[in-house]
Amino acid sequence: MKLKSLLLTAVACSAFAIGSAQANLLISYNNNSLGLFSETGTLITTYSTTLANPQQVVTDNSGHVYVAEFGGAFNGNIKMYNIATGAFVRNVLAGSYGFTGVAFNPANPGEIIATGAYDGVNGQVIRATTDQTGNFVAFSTVGVPYSQLAYSASSDLIYAGAASSVIQSFLPTTLAYQANVHTIAGGGLVGITTIGSDIYNTGAHAGLWSTFKNGIALADTSNVVNQNLFGLTNDGTNLWSADFGAGGVAKYNASTGALMSSFALSAPVGIAFTAIPEPSTAGLLALSGLALAAFRRRRVA
């Protein structure tokens, strides 16, 4: 009976470890907080509740989270956290900027790219090292800034949504300006994400906030109130939008724009999708080994 019980315990633990893998959302919200949420809106981990107007959120491939902090009077920061523990790691890029966007280029794991306001009228795209050893140099102007950033592996370009209704492209290595990609009449562009060669963004259009695909509004991307669609991210198939005005997060079909699900959240702005990896085979074998060792000790006793 003891052997059967121990084996069942080992199987149950292994099953729990496998089943616990899930996709989650990193969201800046409530004007001062950053947290990890499940797809249904359950708060899993809190990273901070003392941020000053946190904006876009992004992850790298080394287990870190970055959040662009707008701050006040152009004294924002790019802050770095451990994605697993939620612990604060360091301030990456501080200065006289009100940061609105941050992006990560997988080809350069030691660098981030940020955008921010520096005088209340103009915005710049900036490249910085994540260990604070590099020179922080402004390279390109993005126009009136209230924009976020996205890196596209398909085109190897950084895209920035400028409030002047234009999506601009930059080289990720030098940040040299390339071209105006899309212009949307009457729309202040804010959130931006890419799936393959497609560019998605949020912005105001004809008095309403909408989500666009390659400059064309999708069929239905309205949340309950549809007031200020700020952050935008994707899981490879679906879009996730942070609706600051309505106070909620919504999931949309990226092809049709159909609303799939949503949950309420106070003043969400930045949003990033992250897949929590399943435990490795070695980890599961070690877990089973612990149960077997416990059984052996009981037999000897």
Q: 123-129 and 111-117 as β-strands: parallel, antiparallel, unpaired?
A: antiparallel
Angstrom distances, CA of residue 59 to CA of 83, 175, 287, 288, 292 = 8, 20, 29, 32, 38
State the Cα angle at 183 between 99 and 152, rounded to 5°: 60
Residue extent(s) of CATH 2.120.10.30 domains in the chain: 22-276
Angstrom distances, CA of residue 105 to CA of 60, 118, 148 = 8, 23, 14
Q: Which residues contact 53 (CB under 8 A, 6 or more apart)?
A: 31, 32, 69, 70, 71, 72, 76, 98
> The tokens of 54 are what?
């946190």
Q: What is the pLDDT of residue 5?
A: 35
Convert the pLDDT of each residue in 89-128 to its tens digit: 998 887 767 888 999 877 777 888 888 776 666 677 777 7
CATH of 22-276, one of 2.120.10.30, 3.50.50.60, 1.10.10.10, 3.40.50.360: 2.120.10.30
Q: CA 199 to CA 192: how far, in whole Å?
A: 7
Q: CA 69 to CA 67: how far, in whole Å?
A: 6
Convert the pLDDT of each residue in 33-51 to its tens digit: 999 999 999 999 999 999 9
Backbone angles phi, psi at 177, to 5 degrees: -65, 135
Q: CA 202 to CA 213: how far, in whole Å?
A: 9
Return the minimum-mean-pLDDT range out of 45-49, 119-123, 253-257, 258-262: 119-123
- pTM across the whole model: 0.80
